[in-house]
Amino acid sequence: MVQYNSAQRKNVRILLVGDPGVGKTSLILSLVSEEFPEDVPPKAEEITIPANVTPEQVPTNIVDYSNTEQTDEILNEEIVKAHVVCIVYSVEDEDSLDRITSHWLPLIRTAIGEDQQRKPVVLVGNKVDLIEYSTIDSVLTIMEDFPEVESCVECSAKTLHNISEMFYYAQKAVLHPTSPLYIMEEQDLTPACKKSLVRIFKICDIDGDNLLNDYELNLFQRRCFNTPLQPQILDEVKVVIQKNIPDGIFHDAVTLKGFLFLHCLFIQRGRNETTWAVLRRFGYNEQLEMCKDYLRPTLKIPPGSSTELSHRGQQFLTALFERYDKDGDGALSPEEHKMIFSTCPSAPWSYSTDIRKSCPTNDQGWVTLHGWMCRWTLMTLIDVLKTLEYLAYLGFNVHENESQLAAIHVTRERRIDLAKRQSSRSVYMCHVIGPKGAGKTGLCRGFLVEDMKSLIGKEFKTNVVHCVNTVQVYGQEKHLILRDIDVKHALDPLQPQEVNCDVACLVYDSSNPRSFEYIARIYIKYYAESKIPVMIVGTKGDLDERRQDYLLQPSEFCTKYKLLPPHLFSLKSNKKEVYTKLATMAAFPRFQAAWILFYKHRLVQLWESAHLRQFGLMTEDPTLWWKAGLGVAAATVLGFVVLKALHSAGTHVRY
List alpha helices for 360-485, DSSP H. Answer: 369-382, 384-394, 414-420, 440-446
pLDDT class for 464, splitting at 50, 70, 90?
low
pLDDT of residue 628: 44
Question: Is the fold of 12-175 the same as that of 294-411?
Answer: no
CA separation for the pair 540, 536 (Å, rounded): 13
Q: Which helix (H) or strand (E) holds 476?
A: strand 476-484
Greater model confidence, 464 or 579: 579
% of the chain beyond a pLDDT of 90: 66
For residue 488, the 8-state DSSP code is S
Amino acid at 39: D
pTM over 0.85: no
- pLDDT number for residue 605: 52
Going by pLDDT thresholds of 50, 70 and 90, the confidence category of residue 632 is very low
Average pLDDT over residues 371-394: 97
Whether residue 617 has pLDDT greater than 50 = no
Angle, helices 256-268 vs 191-204, to 10°: value is 130
Highest mean pLDDT (candidates 316-330, 482-496, 591-605): 316-330
Question: Residue 466 in contact with residue 440, Cβ under 8 Å?
Answer: no
pLDDT at 579: 96
Mean pLDDT of 173-182: 91
Between residues 604 and 294, the one the model is more confident about: 294
Cα gap 190→506, rounded to integer Å: 57
DSSP-assigned letter for residue 54: S
- The whole-number average pLDDT for the span 417-443 is 91
Q: From residue 96, how far is each of 80, 447, 576 by CA, in Å?
A: 23, 78, 85
Q: Which CATH number fits domain 430-594: 3.90.1200.10, 1.10.287.110, 3.40.50.720, 3.40.50.300?
A: 3.40.50.300
| Over residues 519-539, mean pLDDT | 95
What's the mean pLDDT in 620-649? Answer: 43
Q: Are 297 and 369 in contact (CB under 8 A)?
A: no
Q: Which of 41-50, 97-106, 255-264 has the lowest mean pLDDT?
A: 41-50
**Is 598's pLDDT higher than 90?**
no
* pLDDT above 60 for 252: yes
Query: What pLDDT shows up at residue 52?
Result: 85
Q: Is 460 exposed, middle or buried (0-12, 13-18, 19+ CB in 10 A)?
A: middle
Q: Using pLDDT thresholds of 50, 70 and 90, give the confidence band for residue 642.
A: very low
Least confident piece of the model among 112-126, 464-478, 617-631: 617-631
pLDDT > 70 fraction of the chain, expressed in percent and rounded: 87
Task: State the pLDDT confidence band at 156, using cuts at 50, 70 and 90.
Answer: very high
Q: Which CATH architecture has domain 12-175?
A: 3-Layer(aba) Sandwich (3.40)
Q: 603 or 343: whose pLDDT is higher?
A: 343
The residue among 129, 135, 126 whose CA lies nearest residue 163 is 126
What mean pLDDT comes out for the span 592-617? 48
Is pLDDT at 7 greater than 80 in this prediction? no
Tell me the mean pLDDT in the region 323-350: 94
Give the mean pLDDT of 455-464: 66
Which letter does DSSP use for residue 400 in this model?
Answer: S
According to CATH, the superfamily of the domain at 294-411 is EF-hand (1.10.238.10)
Lowest-pLDDT range, 92-96, 104-108, 626-630?
A: 626-630
Q: Which pLDDT value is given to residue 451?
A: 86
Instruction: Provide the mean pLDDT of the chain.
Output: 86
Q: Would you say residue 490 has pLDDT above 60? A: yes
Contact assessment for residue 44 and residue 29, using Cβ atoms and an 8 Å cutoff:
yes
For residue 590, the model assigns a pLDDT of 66
Q: What is the pLDDT of residue 247?
A: 94
pLDDT score for 647: 40
CATH architecture of 185-287: Orthogonal Bundle (1.10)
Does 186 score more than 90 pLDDT? Answer: no
Domain boundaries, the chain: 12-175, 185-287, 294-411, 430-594
Could you give the CA distance from residue 98 to residue 38 in angstroms, rounded to a whole number? 28
